[in-house]
Structure formats: structure tokens, C-alpha cells
Structure 1
């Protein structure tokens, strides 16, 4: 994803975290905040409890980024959102990550129900 699609600043992370609505499933938590902008922005957080090594955490982040890239046309452009991986996310492969992200994003209202087919 290009830099314009990312939330990188701590202040922007905190704004979405404190003022946004949260939705979760077993593997991911998503905080969403609606804004007036031309495309969505996403922040990804994978803590040390999820993967003890940087290699594992980076692999989970790559899976999340690739899933979001594939879902890009269907994501609400007015949204800023944070994807926070839970501990059980380290046991997912690419297909499982995408399936779980689609599920939690539909719960959060970021995807239309009929727009996305799971895998």
C-alpha cells in the first residue's frame, strides 16, 4: 500500500483509537472513524504477544496488507481504520487472514455484504 493509504503518526492512531467505534472477532479488532477524504487510510498493529519474533509479526502484517490490497475497491473510502491482530492471528495462513478480515470488516460496516466473496 502506498504511504497515502497508511496511518503512521501516533496522534492519528490515538484519534481513531479514542474516537472510533470498535468491532472484533476472534483474530482481529478494528477501530473505525469516518472522515471526509478521497480514499481510506489504515493502521496495522501487531504486538509482541501475537508473535514473539519480528519475522512472525512482519509476516502477519504482510498478510493483512495483501488482504486489504485485494479488497481495496470494496472498502469505504470515507474511513480511517486500525487493524489490531489478536494472539490467535499468528496461526492463520493467507486465506484464513483474508477470511477473518472480511468477516470483521463487514461487521464494522467497511465492506458491503454482497460486494465481497470470501476467497
Structure 2
């Protein structure tokens, strides 16, 4: 199951407001920028630099990260956040992506495991 379109951030002004807040958390594979959401649910976006592979590789990484968010989605707080993938994430398996993503979201207090 994929992340629903209503849960994704697409507009430039939303990205700008998240980055201008300068509230970020990071681990070795991901950086997460966040602001409190104006909606009743979380919204997420995934960004992968052009330094990491070609378009096929970058799109695969984005797909992996979005799919890794689905099982965590019931425990995510009402936050808008952007996940930036660092170099090295292209070599990770789905389980490793999910583990690293859960870690960085726990550190940033977005993911609250019940």
C-alpha cells in the first residue's frame, strides 16, 4: 500500500515554510525538517539529491521511503515534514530504510510508538 496523495506535500510554499522554520533532525541516512501541521494529520515529502544516482535510482529511493512510512503512519504526530535522503541510502534494503527512517522520526519526536 502506498502513501495517500492527501498525505504528501507538493506545493513550493509548503516546502519553503518547512525549510524556513529550520527545525531539523538527522541521522547517517536521513535529514528531517518539520513544522506543526495545519491539518488533522501528518503530511510528508521525500527529497533525493541529484548527487545520488540517476533518475531511476532517485525515484526508487523515494518510493522505498514512502512505502516505509505506511506502517509507521498510524503513530505519526500531526506534523508536516520533509525527508532528505543522504548518500548511501541507495544501497540499503527496504528493512534498513524502514529502521533508519523510524529512528530519525523517533529522535525528532514525530514518531510516537504506542
TM-score with structure 1 setting the length: 0.89
Structure 2 SS opposite 1:50: coil
Cα drift, residue 104 of structure 1: 0.2
In structure 2, the CA distance between the partners of 1:20 and 1:37, relative to structure 1 (3 Å rule), is: farther
Cα drift, residue 35 of structure 1: 2.4
Cα drift, residue 89 of structure 1: 0.9
Structure 1 SS opposite 2:32: strand
Q: What are the ranges of 5 or more consecutive residues in structure 1 without an aligned counterpart?
A: none
For residues 45 and 38 of structure 2, the distance between their equivalents in structure 1, rounded to whole angstroms, comes to 17
**Which residue is equivalent to 2:49?**
47
**Which residue is equivalent to 1:58?**
59
**Which residue is equivalent to 1:98?**
98
**Which residue is equivalent to 2:7?**
5
Q: What are the ranges of 5 or more consecutive residues in structure 2 without an aligned counterpart?
A: none
**In the alignment, structure 1 residue 24 sits paired with structure 2 residue 26:** yes
**Which residue is equivalent to 1:89?**
89
**Which residue is equivalent to 2:72?**
71
TM-score with structure 2 setting the length: 0.92
Alignment RMSD: 1.1
For residues 20 and 34 of structure 1, the distance between their equivalents in structure 2, rounded to whole angstroms, comes to 12
Deviations 1:63-88 (A, max 9, x none): 10111111110111x20000000011
In structure 2, the CA distance between the partners of 1:20 and 1:4, relative to structure 1 (3 Å rule), is: farther
For residues 7 and 22 of structure 2, the distance between their equivalents in structure 1, rounded to whole angstroms, comes to 18
